[in-house]
Amino acid sequence: MIVSPSPENIDRAAHLLHAGSLVSFPTETVYGLGADARNPEAVRRVFAAKGRPAEHPLIVHLADASALSRWARAIPPGAHALAAAFWPGPLTLILPRDTNVLDVVTGGQDSVGLRVPGHPVARALLQRFVALGGDGVAAPSANRFGRVSATMALHVAEDFGGEVELILDGGPCRHGIESTIVAFTSDEPVLLRPGALSMAELTRVLGRAPKIGSSAAPRAPGTLASHYAPRTPTRLLPREELLSALGHVGSSTGHIAVLAHSIEQPPLFDGTWFDAPSHDAAYAHELYANLRALDARAADEIWIETPPDGPEWSAVRDRLRRATHRG
Ligand code: TXA
Ligand code: MG
C-alpha cells in the first residue's frame, strides 16, 4: 500500500483519484487523505474512513491558483495578495464558494477552503489529476478524526487499512504542522488556525495583522477544543512544575512518558524520555511523530514541557493545547 512517488505511481494515484478511490499523499505540512472533490461518493468515503462528522468541511487542493475562480465566487484583494505571495505553500484560504462546489465538501457552508500545496509529489499528483480531466482534490489530514496528524507514510498506514488504496511516500513532511488558515468571508481577514505560515509573514503581505478567530468560529475540526490528541492522558507542564513533578515520580505514579525541550532527563528517572528540539521549526517538524511515539509506549501519562511564549511558537502551542484538552 505504501509506494515510492515514482512517475508511474503518481500516474496510478491520479487514475485512482479519478476513479473515485482514496489516495494518501505527502504535502509540505502533513499527509493528506485525498478524494476527487467533484465526486460526492468519493468525498463521502473520506468522511467514513476518518470517522469525521459530515458537517466538518474539507480543504480542496488545487494544482495552481488559476483554478481559484472555478471554486470561489469572490476573491478579495487580500486573498489575491496572500495567494500570490504564498502559493504553492502552507496556506489555506477560506472564500465564498462557487455554486458548483459540492455540499459534502463544505459541510453545507457557504464558503470553501482552498490551498495550492508546495510539495513536489503533491504538485505532480494534482497536475496529473488535472490532465486526466480532474479539478481539485479534497483532502483532510490523513489521521483518524480527533487524533494526531500524520507526518510520515507509516503514520497513515497505522491509521488506515483497506480504506486507502495507495499511500505515496514522500518521506517526513518538511513543516510537520498543518497549513495556516485565513478566512475572507467577512469584511476583514480572520486567522482561523495558526500553522506553518507565520503570523509575521501574513502581516507583512496584508499590511496589518489578521483578526484572530475565536475557537467557537466556523465548524473547523482543528478548532475543536480537544483534537490532535494521543490516547494516553496527556498534560502540559511549565518547566518548573515539570521539574518538581519529576522529583516525585515513583512506583505510585506509574509509567510516565516525557517530552521536554529545555530539561535533561534526570539520572534516576526510569520512564520514557524524549528530547524535543529547542528551535520552533524543528520542534514542529517532529511534534506529531513524537506524540505518536509517546502514545505507542502505552504509558500511564504523557507529560509535555510547555513550549515557549513567542509568536513563532503559536501553532505548536495551539496543537499542544488541543492535544492536552480534557473533556
Ligand atoms: O496542512 C493542511 O491544511 C492539511 C494538508 C493535508 O493540506 N490539511 C488539513 O485538513 O489540515 P484538515 O481537514 O485536517 O483541517 C482542515 C481545516 C479544518 O479545521 C476545517 O474545518 C477547516 O480547515 N475548513 C475547511 N473548510 C472550511 C470552511 N469552509 N470554513 C471554515 N473552516 C474550514
Ligand atoms: Mg486534521
Choose among 5, 34, 37: nearest CA to 22. 34
The minimum-distance atom of ligand 1 relative to the CA of 195 is: 1
Ligand 1 within 6 A of 170 CB? no
pLDDT for 313 equals 97
Q: Please, which pLDDT band fits residue 325 given cuts at 50, 70 and 90?
A: confident
Ligand 1 within 6 A of 109 CB? yes
pLDDT for 161 equals 83
Q: Could you tell me what percent of the chain has a pLDDT over 90? A: 91
Please report which ligand is nearest the Cα atom of 140: 1
Which residue did the predictor score with more confidence, 284 or 222?
284
Ligand 1 within 6 A of 111 CB? yes
Ligand 1 within 6 A of 151 CB? no
Q: Are 297 and 277 in contact (CB under 8 A)?
A: no
The minimum-distance atom of ligand 1 relative to the CA of 97 is: 29
**Among 97, 126, 181, 190, which residue has the most ligand 1 atoms within 8 Å of its CB, making it the best to mutate?**
181
Question: What order do you get walking across the sheet with 272-275 strand by strand?
Answer: 234-237, 301-305, 256-260, 272-275
Mean pLDDT in residue range 76-86:
98
Helix 77-86 and helix 199-206, axial crossing angle in degrees, nearest 10: 130
Give residues with Cβ within 8 angstroms of 181, minimum separation 6.
92, 93, 94, 113, 191, 192, 193, 195, 220, 222
Choose among 54, 78, 217, 224: nearest CA to 147. 224
Strand partners, 167: 2, 24
The minimum-distance atom of ligand 1 relative to the CA of 112 is: 29
Ligand 1 within 6 A of 33 CB? no
Q: What is the pLDDT of residues 105-139, one digit of tens each?
A: 999 999 999 999 999 999 999 999 999 999 999 99
Q: CA-CA distances (angstroms) from residue 107 to 57, 221, 283?
A: 5, 12, 33
Kindly give the distance from the C-alpha atom of residue 141 to the centroid of ligand 2, in angstroms, as a whole number: 4
Nearest residue CA, atom 22 of ligand 1? 220
Distance from chain centroid for Cα 22? 18
Q: What is the pLDDT of residues 166-216, one digit of tens each?
A: 999 999 999 999 999 999 999 999 999 999 999 999 999 999 999 999 754
pLDDT for 224 equals 67
Give residues with Cβ within 8 angstroms of 271, minimum separation 6.
249, 255, 256, 257, 258, 299
Q: What is the pLDDT of residues 242-260, one digit of tens each?
A: 999 999 988 788 999 999 9
Q: What is the pLDDT of residues 90-104, one digit of tens each?
A: 999 999 999 999 999
Per-residue DSSP letter, 181: E
Kindly give the distance from the C-alpha atom of residue 227 to the centroid of ligand 2, in angstroms, as a whole number: 8
**Residue 304 pLDDT > 50:** yes
The minimum-distance atom of ligand 1 relative to the CA of 223 is: 19
Q: Please, which pLDDT band fits residue 226 given cuts at 50, 70 and 90?
A: confident
Ligand 1 within 6 A of 221 CB? yes
Q: What is the pLDDT of residues 21-73, one digit of tens each?
A: 999 999 999 999 999 999 999 999 999 999 999 999 999 999 999 999 999 99
Nearest residue CA, atom 12 of ligand 1? 140
Please report which ligand is nearest the Cα atom of 227: 2
Ligand 1 within 6 A of 113 CB? yes
Mean pLDDT in residue range 13-22:
98
Ligand 1 within 6 A of 30 CB? yes
Kindly give the distance from the C-alpha atom of residue 140 to the centroid of ligand 2, in angstroms, as a whole number: 6
Which residue did the predictor score with more confidence, 325 or 197?
197
Q: Show the cell assigned to 167.
A: 499511500
Average pLDDT over the chain, rounded to an integer: 95
Nearest residue CA, atom 10 of ligand 1? 140
Q: What is the pLDDT of residues 257-278, one digit of tens each?
A: 999 999 999 998 999 999 999 9
Please report which ligand is nearest the Cα atom of 30: 1
Q: Please, which pLDDT band fits residue 220 given cuts at 50, 70 and 90?
A: low
Secondary-structure breakdown of the chain: helix, strand, coil percentages, each rounded to the nearest 5: 35, 20, 45
Kindly give the residue spans of alpha helices, DSSP state H, lying in the chain: 7-18, 40-50, 77-86, 103-106, 120-131, 153-159, 199-206, 239-246, 280-296, 314-323
Mean pLDDT in residue range 145-160:
96
Please report which ligand is nearest the Cα atom of 29: 1
Mean pLDDT in residue range 230-240:
96
